[in-house]
Structure 1
Amino acid sequence: MQKYQYINTRTNLGRLTGRIKKARRVAVDIEADSFHHYFEKVCLIQIAVGQDIYLVDPLADFELSAFLDVLADTVIIFHDGGYDLRMMRSSFGFEPRSRVFDTMLAAQLLGYRQFGLAAMLDEVLAVSMAKGQQKADWSRRPLSEKLLAYAADDVLHLAELADCLSAGLKELGRTQWHNESCQWLVKATAVEKGQPDKDRQWRVKGSRELTRRQLAFLRQLWRWRDGEARRADRPPFKIMGNQQLIHLALWAQSHPNTSLNKGPRLPRHCTGRRFTGIETAIARARALPESSWPRPLKPPRAPRWSAADKELADVLRDKCRQIADRLGIEPFVLAPRATIAVIARERPATIAELADCGPMMQWQAKLLWPAVKSVLGA
């Protein structure tokens, strides 16, 4: 029996929009195609309204603006909603205007040690989830019944899970902690990504070991790969892997008079125009004067740590661990290690200054402040 309704017509989308408008809340998940495309996009939006599940196909031939506008004014339940919100923002410009309830954040605040959706459903509701479709190409049409059923399962029990976790938060007096955490999540996902650093983006893992001459070849080959990935709308690693790029750069530097035909084995699809593109990239790198070769990156300057700072950080981490243990949560939920390090260096004199050290949420700062104050003598 079909447990969902597949929405790929204007009429059905209009009906769903009307239903959401009357709903108290909805559970939402998305599937995207970042594993298969350079220009990633949302390919499916799963929505649970009460006991009914709808799978909205954003690649179908209809306008989503009215639907998304109504959704933005509805309370939304996510599990680990950061990726979902970022993708919905980048694909549709979507920003929630009503409350978001993130079940993963709730689980962390309640002290669960395993807070993936499958683990949570198993532990809280004794429900098993099917696995194995995370790397499917969700942009392909038609989607199989197996994939659609898998997608529907992601929201099937989300509202029930949220109810159980919400009751736990209320019992422990942590509802406000969760509200603030979800507000921070929404704000974080609304921050626009900055432009990539053009002198860093091509420096793949392992490139620190290369000479300047070898880096010149790597940079040109990376640019070739990026252009091919964009042209084909495929992830760069499906054009050529990072280690293959480095191996090819090393070969090109050490074989100045050897034809690429006698070079390292290339991916099967690197023939014709792509083969010529690689030759061109190598030739351009070879023609560069030494003054144009990339320079190795200087390691980031580490913050100055005095012996007293390090000792103080250790004491603060121990205090944080004690508070977290008393609350039954993981220390990182209260304060990440990096935040503790900033506190040790900055030595805040007020709770407001402490909140700026992370920055930290108000509930975190209030819980940590007495310990920080006693250690620092503020």
Structure 2
Amino acid sequence: MTTEPALALVDAPEAVAEIAAAIRAAGSFALDLEFMTEGRYVAELSLVQVGWGDPDGPEVRAIDPLKVDAREIAELVADPDVETVIHSAQADLALLGQVFSVRGRGIVDTQIAAAFLGLGDQIGYAALVERMAGVYIDKGSQFTEWSRRPLTDDQVRYALDDVRYLPGAWRQLRAELETQGRLPWVMEECDRLAETWAERTPPEEMYRRVRGWNSLRRRSQGALRALAAWREEEALRVNRPPSWLLNDRTMLEVARRPPRDLNELRSVRGLGEGTAQRYGRILLDAVEQGMEDPPPAEDTPPRVPNLGQSWPAILSGIVQARCREASIAPRFVATRREIDELIAWWLVGDRSSEPDLPLLRGWRRELVGADLLDWLQGKTAVIVDPDSEAGLTIRG
């Protein structure tokens, strides 16, 4: 039987400790976060909702992180002995990593679980609940200013609904995954993504995320690396988007044609007077130091012979076919980069050992990786087949 809690937010440390203890005893809980991103680099955590106990009627609570430390809940997410059920977990896990420095263990993302059952690549929570429980969730409070207090009863009730139905949905998804033998696939994928989502690119590597960085000469790359590292650290310090300090295009131009003084810096297109006034000397020093300490030269990737240039489309077709047959979104199985690396290995690499690629390991190899290797080795052929679901068949 569903327990309807008081809609007052939990804002006492002892109450948070009691909730954490109850969740730890249960061994599993549903989690959702509300946060504000507007004008911020790191989102402001504004509400923490948890649900635990009987999936048919879990205990649900909303914790106010603006008044009480929610670290005990975050530490549960990092506990491999506690199952954490989240829908569309990426943003939540990234925020927990930024605020509490935790990496999720025992994570279950019900959106991923649904995708592995053919319920859509990125099914929304409301659609999942309607499908699993036949319950319609009103999304009227979706764009609430969650950092504003007090919250209305309707807003808190809406927030609690985000965890109220998760345990029951996961129970159904889990049963179907076990029936199809895909539960290990989902758990492996959730764990892999949880690690990825908790990672933050080091400041000294942020320059690689600037489009066009690899077109620069090495000394200019050093300048860009120093500028991007400064921008990242300053953006975190003031909690403002990096582009508010210095946009990518302007930063690339400063690195490409290093200004010699403040006057030349002010003449760079896109660099505001306020930025030049506040940070001008810092930027000039960063450019100078970066040029004196450029990054190591990049290894030149082996050139793939022309005969392999049409192969990505063929291998991607095999991936698409197997994923369609299995009702799994291709993005979970193989990336274009992995396919390119596989082809490069086959044509110009050392065939005595396979490359370390996810698509050649575990369930991905079982689903499609072995087929890709068979095609490369000439053991199979891809045949156009308009009558098949994928439009082609693989024949050995």
**Matches of residues 217-228 of structure 1 in structure 2 within 5 Å?**
none
- Provide the rounded CA distance (Å) in 2 between the counterparts of 1:194 and 1:264: 25
For the pair 1:130 / 2:136, whether they are aligned, the reply is no
Deviations 1:183-213 (A, max 9, x none): 32344446x5452336827x8568999999x
Q: What residue is the counterpart of 1:337 in the other structure?
A: 336
Deviation at 1:303, TM superposition (A): 5.0
Cα distance change of structure 1 residues 210 and 9 upon mapping to structure 2, 3 Å threshold: same
Q: Which residue of 2 aligns with 1:13?
A: 16
In the other structure, the counterpart of 2:392 is none
Q: Does residue 1:362 correspond to 2:362, yes or no?
A: yes
Is contact 1:248–1:264 with CA below 8 Å preserved after alignment?
no
Matching of residue 22 in structure 1 with residue 52 in structure 2 = no
C-alpha offsets along residues 238-289 of structure 1, whole Å, 9 cap, x if unaligned? 5566678789999x98xx97997xx99969xx5xxx673266568x58x979
- 3-state SS of the aligned residue for 1:85? helix
The residue that corresponds to 1:166 in the other structure is: 174
Q: Is 2:161 the partner of 1:153?
A: yes
1:104 is displaced (CA, Å) by 1.4
Q: Percent identity?
A: 22
Task: Specify the code of the residue in structure 2 equivalent to 1:130.
Answer: K
Displacement of 1:23 after TM fit? 1.9
CA contact (8 A) 1:28 1:155 kept: yes
Query: Structure 1 residues 362 and 2 mapped into 2: Cα distance closer, same or farther (>3 Å)?
Result: same
Inter-CA distance 3–77: structure 2 relative to 1 (3 Å threshold): farther
Q: Alpha-carbon deviation of 1:9?
A: 0.2
Whether the aligned pair in 2 keeps the contact of 1:31 and 1:42 (CA below 8 Å) is yes
C-alpha contact (below 8 Å) 2:235/2:242 kept by paired residues: yes
Counterpart of 2:102 (choices 94, 98, 107) is 94
Q: CA deviation at 1:47?
A: 0.7
Change (3 A) 1:28 1:303: farther
C-alpha change, 1:132 and 1:100, in structure 2 (3 Å) is: same
Query: Which portions of structure 1, spanning 4 or more consecutive aligned residues, are displaced by more than 6 angstroms?
Result: 206-212, 214-228, 243-250, 256-260
What's 2:90 paired with? 82
d(CA) in 1 for partners of 2:182, 2:334: 16
Q: How far did 1:306 drift?
A: 1.8
Structure-2 change in CA distance of 1:111 and 1:15 (3 Å): same
**Which residue of structure 1 lines up, in the alignment, with residue 277 of structure 2?**
276
CA shift for structure 1 position 90: 3.5
Distance (whole Å) between structure 1 residues aligned to residue 311 and residue 13 of structure 2: 61
2:47 aligned residue: 44
Q: 1:85 touches 1:186 (CA, 8 Å); kept in 2?
A: yes
Name stretches of at least 5 consecutive residues in structure 2 with no aligned partner.
380-396
Judge which range, 78-87 or 145-154, deviates more: 145-154
TM-score, normalising length: structure 1: 0.70
Determine the C-alpha separation between the residues in 1 that align with 2:193 and 2:14: 33
Partner of 2:240: 234
Amino acid at match of 1:344: I
Post-superposition CA distance 1:281-307 (Å, at most 9, x none): 68x58x979x96999xx9995652223
User: 8 Å contact 2:141–2:155 — kept in the other structure?
Assistant: no
Q: How far 1:26 moved relative to its partner?
A: 1.0
| Cα separation, 2, equivalents of 1:224 and 1:64 | 29
Counterpart AA for 1:345? A
CA contact (8 A) 2:31 2:48 kept: yes
For residues 42 and 301 of structure 1, do their structure 2 counterparts lie closer, same or farther at Cα, with a shift above 3 Å needed? farther
The structural deviation recorded for 1:77 is 0.8
